[in-house]
């Protein structure tokens, strides 16, 4: 089937061709690359999201199967993100907070010389990601993997959150999806998530904090939930039971962290809730059981000492990071850096050769250039979006006023967008990749992030796509 004609009937179709990848410094060329449709809620829009996989042929040289030790990438279409920077900005924030996060940059994308638009070009969370964040310092061939799950809410006849409850067992394969090739040796696909669910249900208000921390990375979870609240990630774990990962290592230790922030910073959300607790109230019924809080809210976040620890993480994040004093320069940099590419995308989107799916009632409107630029600064917006700058300013000031927090910005260890790591000698540096070995030896995970616009071109020789 030609890609131009696709209406969703063949979402698993893989198109084989050649990939040319241009960076500011080098040009990479690959054969036998695979292109296929990706995404969930945005797949049906005219500007489709894609996944690119490099060749898996055993006879191919490594240079044709990997780039920067990666073999698979996502091209996110940013349909819901008129600012073009929400996911990238959250990636930078999560790097600064020391959270696991797939690295990303922006890329112009072409198929058969036809421009398809500007995309968020990001890592896919696979074995490389797990090695980097959860097995630092271990050699690739020696890593003993645990199990990685993606929590996904379920829609259809009813909405069901992946809230980590034991009920609705018949839907667990849809709610908790194990990553390909990241399942603990000897385990069945759902064994480890069921272990977590059973453990959570056995917790009581008097379960010692130390026992909980032995089983779960509480600090990573608290930071992730703080960011969900501050950015209004209503499509994340706390409200939606969606867009989060769970990793269980061989010792039975669980790490839970969120991802995918395109529906954040005021997209279909207002700064109209006063507290973290109010944000934790889901907006949709849990199956047929009405409004139900998430399991991790009930068992962890609503009890002491974690309730007080959550507040401290929130206040510290607002004081030092989530405010316009800390993030304003990064926002302005991204605005200047991407301005020409945003204009290009706005023009290109008017003539993309692919089609919307029949179940898309209405396309997201193509923004105006002036409207996009306004999202990066204060004031009224002409686009149906709160504005990244406005959201960070208003949300941080609300929390600061309510909790009597003072902004305390310290850039001595680097700016947002660079990952601060510790060298062996104890000194700090802003890592662009060269200090990876030092960071790993200190037990701190890093990822190499390409800071330029990547111009990606795919040309297909075996299929006539259009």
Residue pair 466/2 in contact (Cβ under 8 Å)? The answer is: yes
Mean pLDDT, residues 253-279 taken together: 87
Confidence of residue 323 (pLDDT cuts 50, 70, 90): very high
| The pLDDT value given to residue 135 | 95
Confidence of residue 6 (pLDDT cuts 50, 70, 90): low
Confidence of residue 414 (pLDDT cuts 50, 70, 90): low
pTM for the whole structure: 0.88
Query: Of 21-25, 146-150, 379-383, which one has max mean pLDDT?
Result: 146-150
Q: What is the pLDDT of residues 189-200, one digit of tens each?
A: 999 999 999 999
Terminal C-alpha separation, the chain: 10
Mean pLDDT of all residues belonging to the chain: 86
Mean pLDDT, residues 367-376 taken together: 96
CA-to-CA separations, 132 to 303, 311, 437, 447, 461, in angstroms, rounded: 32, 29, 11, 7, 35
Does 26 score more than 90 pLDDT?
A: no
Question: Among the listed ranges 66-70, 109-113, 428-432, which one has the minimum average pLDDT value?
Answer: 428-432
Confidence of residue 421 (pLDDT cuts 50, 70, 90): very low
Does 297 score more than 70 pLDDT?
A: yes
| The pLDDT value given to residue 155 | 85
Mean pLDDT, residues 282-309 taken together: 96
Confidence of residue 437 (pLDDT cuts 50, 70, 90): very low
Query: Around Cβ 136, how many Cβ atoms within 10 Å?
Result: 17
Does 399 score more than 90 pLDDT?
A: yes
Confidence of residue 406 (pLDDT cuts 50, 70, 90): very high
Query: CB-based contacts of 428: which residues, under 8 Å, 6+ apart?
Result: 413, 414, 420, 421, 422
Q: What is the pLDDT of residues 337-360, one digit of tens each?
A: 999 999 999 999 999 988 888 777
Percent of the residues in the chain that have a pLDDT greater than 90, as a whole number: 67
Does 278 score more than 80 pLDDT?
A: yes
Mean pLDDT, residues 287-302 taken together: 97
| The pLDDT value given to residue 41 | 73
Question: Among the listed ranges 193-207, 221-235, 273-287, which one has the minimum average pLDDT value?
Answer: 273-287
Percent of the residues in the chain that have a pLDDT greater than 70, as a whole number: 85
Q: What is the pLDDT of residues 96-151, one digit of tens each?
A: 999 999 988 899 999 888 899 999 999 999 998 999 999 999 998 999 999 999 99
Domain boundaries in the chain?
1-124+324-381+454-466, 127-320
Does 90 score more than 70 pLDDT?
A: yes
Does 49 score more than 80 pLDDT?
A: yes
């Amino acid at each position: 089937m030609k890609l131009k004609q696709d209406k969703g009937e063949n979402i698993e179709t893989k198109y084989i061709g050649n990939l040319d990848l241009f960076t500011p410094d080098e040009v990479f060329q690959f054969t036998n690359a695979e292109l296929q449709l990706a995404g969930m809620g945005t797949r049906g829009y005219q500007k489709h999201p894609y996944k690119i996989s490099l060749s898996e042929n055993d006879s191919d040289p490594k240079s044709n199967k990997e780039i920067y030790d990666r073999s698979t990438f996502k091209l996110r279409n940013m349909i819901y993100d008129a600012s073009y920077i929400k996911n990238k900005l959250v990636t930078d924030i999560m790097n600064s907070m020391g959270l696991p996060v797939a690295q990303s940059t922006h890329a112009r994308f072409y198929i058969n010389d036809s421009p398809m638009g500007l995309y968020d070009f990001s890592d896919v969370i696979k074995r490389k990601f797990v090695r980097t964040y959860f097995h630092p310092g271990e050699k690739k061939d020696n890593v003993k993997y645990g199990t990685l799950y993606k929590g996904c809410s379920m829609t259809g006849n009813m909405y069901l959150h992946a809230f980590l409850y034991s009920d609705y067992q018949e839907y667990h394969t849809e709610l908790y999806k194990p990553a390909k090739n990241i399942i603990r040796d000897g385990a069945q696909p759902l064994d480890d998530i069921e272990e977590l669910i059973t453990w959570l249900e056995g917790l009581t208000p008097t379960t010692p904090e130390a026992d909980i921390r032995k089983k779960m990375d509480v600090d990573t979870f608290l930071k992730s939930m703080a960011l969900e609240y501050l950015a209004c990630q209503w499509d994340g774990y706390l409200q939606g039971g969606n867009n989060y990962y769970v990793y269980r290592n061989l010792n039975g230790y669980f790490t839970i962290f969120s991802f995918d922030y395109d529906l954040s910073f005021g997209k279909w959300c207002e700064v109209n809730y006063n507290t973290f607790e109010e944000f934790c109230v889901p907006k949709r019924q849990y199956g047929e059981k009405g409004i139900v809080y998430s399991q991790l809210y009930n068992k962890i976040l609503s009890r002491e000492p974690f309730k007080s620890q959550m507040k401290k993480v929130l206040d510290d994040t607002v004081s030092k990071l989530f405010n316009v004093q800390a993030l304003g320069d990064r926002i302005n940099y991204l605005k200047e850096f991407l301005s020409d590419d945003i204009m290009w995308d706005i023009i290109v989107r008017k003539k993309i050769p692919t089609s919307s799916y029949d179940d898309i009632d209405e396309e997201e409107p193509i923004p105006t250039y002036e409207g996009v630029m306004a999202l990066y600064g204060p004031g009224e917006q002409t686009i149906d979006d709160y504005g990244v700058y406005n959201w960070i300013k208003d949300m941080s000031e609300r929390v600061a006023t309510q909790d009597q927090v003072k902004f305390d910005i310290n850039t001595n260890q680097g700016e947002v967008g660079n990952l601060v790591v510790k060298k062996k000698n104890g000194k700090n540096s802003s890592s662009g990749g060269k200090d990876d070995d030092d960071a790993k030896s200190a037990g701190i995970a890093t990822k190499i992030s390409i800071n330029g616009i990547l111009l990606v071109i795919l040309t297909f020789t075996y299929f006539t796509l259009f």
